[in-house]
């Protein structure tokens, strides 16, 4: 995982990391879906804008545990977030579609 954030090219590890992150997010999204639903369309639209995602990553970074912030600098975290936003958008859209049908 750390190598993914340090820009080492390892697509198998990136894929595994993406699957782990998405696996952890899905239950949380489903649990809180009633709170998320009113904002889902706007959030999905905003998330397609890299500037918005970058701003969000920069606001989230200070809330990460201290050990994570010591190991991963803010710029690397932002770059990682931008690089991996596609799977998150896909998961949100998938859950939104499941909830509306």
pLDDT digits 0-9 by tens, 8-59: 555 666 677 777 777 777 788 888 888 888 887 887 788 888 999 999 899 9
Q: pLDDT at position 1, please?
A: 44
CA distance 33 to 65: 25
| Cα distances (Å, whole numbers) of residue 71 to 6, 43, 54, 67, 84 | 10, 29, 19, 6, 19
Contact 30, 95 (CB under 8 A): yes
Which tokens is 56 given? Answer: 């969000």
| Among the listed residues 85, 98, 18, the one whose alpha carbon sits nearest the alpha carbon of residue 57 | 85
Segments in 1-101 forming alpha helices (H): 2-5, 11-31, 33-36, 40-47, 50-60, 66-71, 74-83, 85-100
* pLDDT band at residue 61 under the 50/70/90 scheme: very high
Q: With a threshold of 0.85, does the pTM exceed it?
A: no
């Amino acid at each position: 995982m750390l190598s993914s954030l340090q820009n080492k090219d390892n697509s198998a590890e990136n894929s595994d990391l993406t699957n782990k992150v998405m696996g952890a997010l899905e239950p949380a999204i489903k649990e809180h879906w009633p709170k998320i639903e009113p904002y889902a369309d706007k959030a999905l639209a905003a998330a397609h804008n890299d500037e918005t995602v970058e701003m969000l990553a920069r606001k989230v970074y200070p809330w990460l545990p201290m050990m994570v912030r010591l190991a991963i600098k803010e710029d690397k975290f932002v770059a990682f977030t931008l690089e991996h936003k596609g799977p998150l958008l896909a998961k949100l859209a998938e859950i939104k579609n499941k909830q509306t049908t």
